[in-house]
Amino acid sequence: REVILSEIAPVFGETSAFASVAALRTAASKVVDQVEQRLKSTPEMPVIEAMYSMKCLKHAGKNVKDLLEKEWQPTGSFALKECEKMLSYLSAEFGKDSAALDRFKKRCQDIFPLLVVKS
């Protein structure tokens, strides 16, 4: 436990070991809040970076479904492979009938008009 608390500290920008798991959670929640804020305020974020930000928030126990269904409108770099990964992730995470998946499919088809999205 002590080793983990001391070795993980530099990852969160700390110079000394965490005194407790509660201190580690506090530092981690700050990072998660920054990730969430960046996802909400940066529509030009590359799609792949947005996907991993969503995964980070999911593992932290945050719900991004409302953000994806209502607010998030990506305008950043779109690569076909990254769009396919995001479509797969959204389908697995929220289901094939989710509004988040439908919104992202439409956005991908705006960018790649000849894209055939598998259901």
Per residue in 1-45, pLDDT (tens digit) is 889 999 999 998 888 999 999 999 999 999 999 999 999 999 899
Cα–Cα distances in angstroms (integers) from residue 14 to residues 2, 61, 76, 109, in the given order: 15, 23, 32, 44
pLDDT at residue 1, as a whole number: 85
Rounded to the nearest integer, the mean pLDDT of the chain is 91
pLDDT at residue 119, as a whole number: 58
Domain range summary for the chain, segments of one domain joined by + = 1-31, 42-119
Residue by residue, DSSP assigns 42-67 as -TTS-HHHHHHHHHHHHHTT---HHI
pLDDT at residue 24, as a whole number: 92
pLDDT in tens, 63-118: 999 888 888 888 888 899 999 999 999 999 999 999 999 999 999 999 888 888 77
pLDDT at residue 48, as a whole number: 93
Residues 40 and 68: beta-carbon distance below 8 Å? no
